[in-house]
Amino acid sequence: MADPIVELRAVEKTFTRGRQPVKVLDGLDLTVEAGSFEALMGPSGSGKSTLLNLIAGLDRPTAGTLRVAGEDLGRLSEGGLADWRARNIGFVFQAFNLIPVLTAAQNVELPLVLSPLSTAQRKQHVATALRIVGLADRMDHLPRQLSGGQEQRVAIARAIATDPKIIVADEPTGDLDRHSAEEILGLFAKLNDELGKTIFMVTHDPLAAERAKVVRRMDKGKLLVA
Amino acid sequence: MLFLLAAKGMLRNLFRSVLTLLGVAIAILAFTFLRTTIEAWYAGVDAASQDRLATRHKVSITLPMPRAYFEKVKDRVTGITAVTYANWVGAVDPKDERAFFANFAVDGETYFETYDEVVIPPGQLAEWRTDPTGCIVGEALAGQKGWKVGDRITLRGTIYPGDLQLTVRGIYGTKRKTFDKSTLFFHWKYLNEIADASRKDQIGFLGIRVADASQGPAIARAVDELFANSDTETLTESERAFNLSFLSMFSTVLKALDVVSVVILCIMGLILANTIAMGVRERTHEYGVLRAIGFQPRHLALLVGGEGLVMGIAGGVVGVAASLVVVNAFGKWLEDNFGQFFPYYSMSTTSVFLGLGLAAIIGLVASLVPAWSAARLEVVQALRRL
Ligand SMILES: Nc1ncnc2c1ncn2[C@@H]1O[C@H](COP(=O)(O)OP(=O)(O)O)[C@@H](O)[C@H]1O
Ligand SMILES: [Mg+2]
């Protein structure tokens, strides 16, 4: 059995909407093994994105502990958490979220700016990442000159440029047509198989879930036993 | 890369950036222009003659002194090479009453010896001395009015009632740029003749040239001691100090200019702050992405602050360049036509750097609040905002 890379114990998250507290995550326990490719499904508003954000260190739980990539996230400061994200997490969003004024290569280079790499090394990382997603020939294109599928592939290249252990993806195929979605899912499978990346993906799409090794379901802030 | 992002961010809304930049530039232009005007006003003061003193009524520059003071100073005070006296008349040209020019009633024998930077062709000076109603006008004023030697002119009194019937006997130039080229001088005796009883034998100020400039303060004290404990005590100061108290008559205008120049900068700062804040609001989602990727709050603050700084400096450069052009174009014209106010109308290096420095500071200050709010963004909230 592989080591757990994500461990959640009794995690709760409560938002206050107006004056009313809303418990979005209700005592979650979750273990994800290193090298796994997991899909998280569930109805809208069930707390999937909230859970993903906690795992990725974007937000903090109201109660409970998170150990991710060997770190107790509760112990990190805001700045420490940002550093930790830069080193350990690759993000893929539903809306791609590329910076529109930067070229594909510059977008991919963005997270590397925070690393101690030299310019030459950075260029090399960018080239490698773009080659992996099959867009080596689109380096100098701006996001608006790319199709949705290509944009998402650039976003994936950006997510893997720093060589993070975990890739989190929130409905990565939600804005894509069937064909592009297949491409993206194939890419995730490849990253998982060949590069050993742990992938944690929130999705609505049953076809997407089919590509994952583990499928989890969530409803009303609780994980359902599979 | 952060720099690239800041630069591209500004180019994104090119129209707005250009407008903002122009706004900064115009504010800086207005600021340096006003500064230059104020400085030019004081330039005459700073360039005052070192070896000259002026004596006036102790209470106010607008109060007269007995003419006998002139003789007393001339006879009793040692270390002086020339003394003269004059009155500020304040008469106007009835054809154009609002066009101000200085006019003084002066002592024909001594005035131009004391103020020897005034250059009058010797023949003309001699002519004037023999004509009781003659006058001497500055070349700029003569050019403006189209007056020539021999012309008869009428001035209407304001302080002194009645008209002055004068004949132009000479036109003067100056050896020193700071001496006004738009003044009219006529004989004090003529003014004294037409003055009513209460104003007879009164003078406005004494001009004194000292042999040794370092003895100026001692001589000034000696003069004032002559008249101590009399009805009309005097105040003798260096020409510089005298010019300053003369300028103080206009001090409200100068202060207003000063305030206006600062107000312009403040307004500009607020507008710039608003523009930058607008940009931050539009880019909230993008900042959320950057933060998710691992950028620190300080990186975002730097990004926004950098934008403000660049805006400020760029606007400052354009504004200062524009005011150099404007000041050069108008400077000569102002010096010639409004020499009494602007003997030296040109932009000082201080103004250039003050303009640039303030522009940069405004840019930074204007971006403080937006930078702070960018740094404070909550990642998850920022990402949800699209
Ligand atoms: N920052 C927030 N403030 C208040 N309520 C929130 C916040 N984020 C999420 N929620 C609420 O939490 C619930 C779960 O949201 P989310 O995790 O985005 O669901 P999902 O991704 O499963 O659709 C929703 O009801 C949502 O409105
Ligand atoms: Mg969601």
For B253-285, how does the pLDDT look when each residue is reduced to its tens digit (9 = 90+)?
Answer: 888 888 998 999 999 999 999 999 999 999 999
Among B8, B285, B380, whose Cβ lies nearest the Cβ of A102?
Answer: B8
pLDDT, position B339: 60
Looking at the CA of residue A44, tell me the nearest atom of ligand 1. Answer: 23
Looking at the CA of residue A48, tell me the nearest atom of ligand 1. Answer: 22
Q: Compute φ and ψ for A94, nearest 5 degrees.
A: -60, -40
pLDDT, position A226: 61
What are the tens digits of pLDDT across the range B72-123? Answer: 999 999 999 999 999 999 899 998 888 888 899 999 999 999 998 899 999 9
Same domain for B163 and B76: yes
In chain A, positions 138-177, which contact chain B (CB-CB < 8 Å)? 158
Among A53, A78, A111, whose Cβ lies nearest the Cβ of B380?
Answer: A53
pTM of the model: 0.73
- Domain annotation covers residue B243: no
Same domain for B265 and B215: no
How far is Cα B82 from Cα B98, in angstroms, rounded to an integer? 35
Same domain for B160 and B120: yes
What are the tens digits of pLDDT across the range A65-91? Answer: 999 999 999 999 999 999 999 999 999
Min Cα distance B286 → chain A (Å) is 7
Q: Please tell me the distance between residue B384's alpha carbon and the centre of ligand 1 in angstroms.
A: 10
Domain count for chain A: 1
Determine the Cα angle at B374 with ends B12 and A89, to 5°.
Answer: 90
With a cut of 60, say whether residue A1 has pLDDT above it.
Answer: no
Q: B376 contacts in A (CB within 8 Å)?
A: none
How far is Cα A8 from Cα B67, in angstroms, rounded to an integer? 102
Q: How far is CA B58 from CA B51, B210, B234, in A?
A: 21, 21, 4
Could you give the count of Cα atoms lying within 13 Å of B54 in the half-sphere of its Cβ? 22
DSSP B313: H
Nearest protein CA to atom 16 of ligand 1, as residue:
A47
Structure tokens at B317: 């450069």
Q: Containing domain of residue B277, as a range?
A: 2-44+250-384
Is A125 part of the contact surface with chain B (CB cutoff 8 Å)?
Answer: no
pLDDT, position B44: 66
In chain B, positions 351-380, which contact chain A (CB-CB < 8 Å)? 379-380
What are the tens digits of pLDDT across the range A165-205? Answer: 999 999 999 999 999 999 999 999 999 999 999 999 999 99
Is B1 part of the contact surface with chain A (CB cutoff 8 Å)?
Answer: yes
How far is Cα A201 from Cα A212, in angstroms, rounded to an integer? 9
For residue A18, name the pLDDT band (cuts at 50, 70, 90): confident
- Domain annotation covers residue B351: yes
Residue B376's Cβ-count burial label (10 Å; 0-12, 13-18, 19+) is exposed
Same domain for B318 and B264: yes
How far is Cα A154 from Cα A142, in angstroms, rounded to an integer? 10
- For testing contact with chain B, the best of A114, A168, A171, A202 (most B CBs within 10 A): A114
One-letter amino acid for residue B298 of the chain: R
Q: How far is CA A178 from CA A174, A190, B47, in A?
A: 10, 18, 83
Contact B1 A100 (CB under 8 A): no
pLDDT, position B3: 76
pLDDT, position B361: 94
Min Cα distance B383 → chain A (Å) is 9
Same domain for B301 and B162: no
Could you give the count of Cα atoms lying within 13 Å of B23 in the half-sphere of its Cβ? 21
Which parts of chain B register pLDDT below 70? 44-47, 249, 336-343, 386
Same domain for B107 and B8: no
Same domain for B225 and B93: yes
Q: How far is CA B29 from CA B43, B228, B306, B322, in A?
A: 20, 50, 23, 6
Q: Can you tell me the ipTM of this complex? A: 0.94
Is B14 part of the contact surface with chain A (CB cutoff 8 Å)?
Answer: no
Is A38 part of the contact surface with chain B (CB cutoff 8 Å)?
Answer: no
Q: Containing domain of residue A197, as a range?
A: 4-223
Domain count for chain B: 2
Q: B379 contacts in A (CB within 8 Å)?
A: 58-59
- Domain annotation covers residue B58: no
pLDDT, position A141: 96
Ligand 1 within 6 A of CB of A203: no
Residue of A nearest to B295 (CA): A82
pLDDT, position B186: 97
- Domain annotation covers residue B150: yes
How far is Cα A208 from Cα A224, in angstroms, rounded to an integer? 19
Same domain for B340 and B227: no
Residues with Cβ–ion distance below 5 A, ligand 2: A 49
Is B113 part of the contact surface with chain A (CB cutoff 8 Å)?
Answer: no
Ligand 1 within 6 A of CB of A24: yes
Contact B293 A111 (CB under 8 A): yes
The percent of residues above 70 in pLDDT, for chain A, comes to 99
CATH code, domain carrying A210: 3.40.50.300
- Domain annotation covers residue B315: yes
Q: Are A111 and A158 in contact (CB under 8 A)?
A: yes
One-letter amino acid for residue B187 of the chain: H
Q: Are A195 and A185 in contact (CB under 8 A)?
A: no
Residue B92's Cβ-count burial label (10 Å; 0-12, 13-18, 19+) is middle
What are the tens digits of pLDDT across the range A93-133? Answer: 999 999 999 999 999 999 999 999 999 999 999 999 999 99
One-letter amino acid for residue B312 of the chain: G
What are the tens digits of pLDDT across the range A151-168? Answer: 999 999 999 999 999 999
Which of B200, B231, B262 is the last residue before a domain boundary? B231
Which of B231, B263, B298 is the last residue before a domain boundary? B231
Same domain for B155 and B17: no
- For testing contact with chain A, the best of B283, B289, B290, B377 (most A CBs within 10 A): B289
pLDDT, position A40: 96
Among B1, B9, B379, whose Cβ lies nearest the Cβ of A109?
Answer: B1
